[in-house]
Amino acid sequence: MAIPVEPTLANIGAKTPAGPAGSADHKRDGLQTAHLKAGPPRSLDGTRHGVADAYAKAAEPMRLAPERIAVAKKDGLRRPKVRTAGGTGVSRVAQSQAIGARKLDLTNDMKDLLLSIENRYGPLAAKKDTIGLDWEKTKADFLKRAAAQKSVEDYYFLVAELLAKFNDAHVTISLPSSRKYSLPLQFSFVDDKIIVNYVDTANFPTNVRCPAIGDTLVAINGRVPEEFQATEPTFNKSGNPLTNMSVFARVLSDLSEARGVRLDKFPDKLALSFQPVGGGALYDCNLAYKKEGVGLIDRPVDAVDEPLQEKELIGGSSGQSAFEQPVRQSGPDPVDLSAKDWASLRHTAGMLDKIHQLFNLETVLPLAVTSEMSAKASASVGKKVEIGHREPLFVLPQDFKEIAPPEQARAFLNANNFFAGTFTRHGMKVGLLRIPTYMPQNAATLLYGLRYYVGKLQAQTDCLIIDQMDNPGGSVTFCNLLIKSLVGHLDDSKHLRFAVSPSQSFLRQLAELLDFVKENKAHALSPEQQKRLLADLNENFDKVYEAYEEGRNLSDPISLKPFDDFADIAIEKQSAVVRKMESKIKGGLGVDVSQPQNYSRPVFLLTNELDFSGADATPAMFQDYERGPVVGVHTAGAGGTVEVFSHRAATEYDYRLTTSLMVRRNNGLVENHGVTPSVHFALTAQDYKDGFKGTLDRLLSKLGL
């Protein structure tokens, strides 16, 4: 299946030296007094003031072009001056009529969403090159269709259709509905076809032929799967064609209206036609969806609404961060640390949360996400696969020996974020490290868990396979720490950068981080560390602020190195707590996790098309550092960071937008393209049919092991 040609970043501006009035301190003072200026205006009818595409239109790859920077600054794609309240999509009509009864105005409601997208959606200009999106035409079409809507329910799904146009796994909607449809089986897309990989036989109708694992789905309600997929816009929004088909195969048996699938008009039953895995005549299987939950509450557009409450004008939310959760211990005999120690760990988690809020690499998918492989039903065949499964799909060798910390330290060392072990292959000791998600269980102690597993694998193996297949992404700090453990130190010339949407919220959070470093209240930083961090963070701030002043959609790419340095310092401050923890564990850990642990032997990184966001970033960095071969198939191409917005106007829903673009070493973009492996390896229908018994052997042979 064709994957989009890798795009590259071009003409997004460059930093110029600022005079005294443009210093970072002066700019942060401006933030505190809310005097930041918006960029030159652009109206929703498409009229621009000196606008030229910020991205090259020629077939040649897009690159940063220093000699054309002046043109880019003058004519680059600009954000509209008119901003929604807090970037949340609260409509002007809603605000003006907040004191009295009002009628629904879906045209202005749509205008507010479009303005929010133009203000905050970082990859907007790039979408013309990556997926051929004509934004001006799309705006006009959806404004016209919004005006023609007869009910709120119709309009909600129009919004879902609009967001699906960006073909971006980060761009999702959360509608006020709990309605779900499910089938007692699961599908996967392999070998360019959709096959059955799991059947819940306990809940399968007895009067219908039960498909076998590996049987191919050839028709849905009389249409080939690709045609049926095209009937629902939200089935085609996850990144690239391969990822879209894989997500469609998975969600077909597990549909959620909250994610934008219109279930009140979706077929109640599916007439499925299958080709038996061993050949033979086609057979039919008619299945009715199991329904649960409450759908959207509809109303006609001309109904009179209640007065808008003040709280509805308050918008914007980045969601509760996993970093805000306190470190928790579990198990029969958890490590006994003092309240002061736990408070110190929570403080570290809070410091790391500052980075996570700036660079959120977590994807909300229309797929089941779990930290464990789905429990096998009392009567089922095959293996039900969910995103974020902790253990590998493939069956492990008989001599596989799991590396696991003592029960006392499992929570402290983030054991649920890893699955590791060793086995022998032709006299060689092979290590396996499975990373199901890049969202840490406990942010403050993540580094020590990583050090534990890396230290054990370094001591016990000759080479290492890192398996990150089916990974929904998560924390940029996690990605950075993993890469650092493989390369020793981060190199700014090779490391991933981000061109960010220069919003007030990003600037404010970055300014708060600068103030945190400047104040250094807990004396966590040495004078030298403080000086270096301030210089690097100020350089990033200047780039983002300059883009904001000029009204550009994206800043110059900013470095992640100061954020990594900040995370390192925050985590290293807990070394005393870690040593105390180690002393309380019977038999010890066998690895000094208070000290850096690096893996220096050959490494292979295993990917697939259901790797998103942080799981796009990690193989991109792994490849750019030339640490070893990426093995598998294209990642999804969720190539940026994400923010959550609340729309509370004529309609109410939450949505997520990509607010930056990952920029690789060669200025290439990850968005929609993903990361191309150097060694192709894909799962097959036979793997599913055999329960993945021969998959690892086939992989090892492919790697020459």
Domain-located, residue 36: no
Burial call 371-394: b when 16+ CB within 10 Å, e when fewer: eebeeeeeebbbbbbbbbbbebbb
User: What is the spatial order of strands in the sheet that 180-182 belongs to?
Assistant: 254-256, 180-182, 290-292
Q: How far apart are CA 558 and CA 615, in angstroms?
A: 20
Instruction: Name the residue type at position 612.
Output: F
Residue 221 has which token pair? Answer: 């309600």
Are residues 277 and 391 located together in one domain of the fold? no
Pair 346, 213 in one domain: no
Q: Where are the alpha helices (DSSP H) in 232-291?
A: 241-251
Domain of 400? 322-499+559-649+670-702
Using CA atoms, how far apart are residues 249 and 232, in angstroms rounded to an integer? 13
Q: Could you tell me if 337 and 438 lie in one domain? A: yes
What pLDDT is stored for residue 565 in this prediction?
84
* 524 within some domain: no
DSSP 439-486: S-SSGGGHHHHHHHHHHHHHHH-SEEEEE-TT--EEEHHHHHHHHHHH
Q: Are 469 and 675 in contact (CB under 8 A)?
A: no
Q: Are residues 275 and 230 in the same domain?
A: yes
Output the pLDDT for position 98.
44
- Give the residue from 172, 296, 316, 245 showing the smallest Cα distance to 636: 245
Ordered DSSP codes for 365-422: -SS-B-SSPPPPPSS-EE----BT-SS-SSPPPTT-EEE---GGGTTTTTGGG-EEEE
Give pLDDT, residue 584. Answer: 73
Query: Which SS3 state, helix, strand or coil, does residue 317 take?
Result: coil
**In Å, how far are 33, 194, 272, 354 from 287, measured between CA atoms?**
61, 17, 8, 48
SS3 4: coil
Quick one: DSSP state of residue 254?
Answer: E
Q: Residue 585 corresponds to which amino acid? A: I
Q: In what order do the strands lie in the sheet with 642-648?
A: 173-174, 652-658, 642-648
d(CA 53, CA 181) in angstroms, rounded, equals 43
Give the dihedral of Cα atoms 644, 566, 617, 410; nearest 10 deg: -90
131: amino acid identity, one letter: I
Q: In this structure, what token pair is assigned to residue 371? A: 């930290």
Tokens representing residue 354 in the block = 């500052």
- 283 and 381 together in one domain: no
From 635, 633, 634, 637, select the one nearest 658 (Cα to Cα): 637
Secondary element (H or E) of residue 603: strand 603-607
Instruction: Verify that 287 and 328 share a domain, yes or no.
Output: no
Burial of 173 (0-12, 13-18, 19+ CB in 10 A): buried
Q: Residues of 409-425 as b/e, b for ≥16 C-beta within 10 angstroms? A: bbbbbbbbbbbbbbbeb
Domain count, the chain: 2
For the four alpha carbons of 692, 697, 703 and 705, in that order, the dihedral sign comes to positive
| Contacts for 413 with CB less than 8 Å, ≥ 6 apart | 405, 445, 448, 449, 452, 589, 593
Q: Is 570 a member of any domain?
A: yes
CATH of the domain at 287: 2.30.42.10
Three-class SS state of 92 = helix
User: What pLDDT sits at residue 496?
Assistant: 95
The CA distance from 557 to 29, in Å, is: 24
Collect the ranges in the chain with pLDDT lower than 70.
Answer: 1-7, 9-103, 299, 301-352, 354, 356, 361-378, 522, 586
* Angle made by CA atoms 664, 665, 670, in degrees to the nearest 5: 15
Q: Are residues 338 and 438 in the same domain?
A: yes
Whether 486 and 603 share a structural domain: yes
Which residues, other chains included, contact 299 with Cβ-Cβ below 8 Å and sequence gap of 6+?
104, 151, 152
pTM: 0.82
End-of-domain residue from the set 292, 308, 332:
292
Q: Is residue 120 part of a domain?
A: no
Domain boundary among the residues 292, 314, 338 is at: 292
- The pLDDT value given to residue 236: 81
The DSSP 8-state label assigned to residue 233 in this structure reads G
- 277 in a domain, yes or no? yes
Q: For residue 559, give every residue at least 6 positions away whose Cβ sits within 8 Å of its Cβ, in sequence order, or none.
A: 492, 495, 497, 536, 539, 540
DSSP E strands in 636-680: the ranges are 642-648, 652-658, 660-663, 679-680
The closest of 671, 663, 648 to 116, measured between CA atoms, is: 648
Report the pLDDT value the prediction gives residue 73, as an integer from 0 to 100. 35
Task: For 346-395, write each residue's pLDDT tens digit.
Answer: 666 666 676 767 777 666 655 555 534 444 445 789 989 989 999 999 99
Q: At what angle do helices 476-487 and 446-460 cross, to 10 degrees?
A: 30
Give me the pLDDT at residue 579, please. 76
DSSP state of 327: P
- Residue 4 and residue 131: Cα distance in Å, rounded? 8
Q: What is the pLDDT of residue 198?
A: 96
Q: Give a yes or no: residue 457 inside a domain.
A: yes
Rg (alpha carbons) of the chain, rounded to whole number = 26
User: Do 384 and 345 fall into the same domain?
Assistant: yes
- Asked whether residue 492 falls in the same domain as residue 369, the answer is yes
Neighbours of 46 (CB within 10 A): 12
Based on the domain organization, do 331 and 456 belong to the same domain?
yes
Domain stops at, among 241, 273, 292:
292
Beta-carbon count within 10 A of 523 CB? 9
Q: Are residues 238 and 354 in the same domain?
A: no
Q: How many Å apart are CA 194 and CA 232, to the nearest integer?
A: 17
Contact 79, 116 (CB under 8 A): no
The CATH number covering residue 421 comes to 3.90.226.10
**Distance, CA of 168 to CA of 379 (rounded, Å):** 37
Q: Is residue 660 part of a domain?
A: no
**Residue 166 forms part of a structural domain:** no
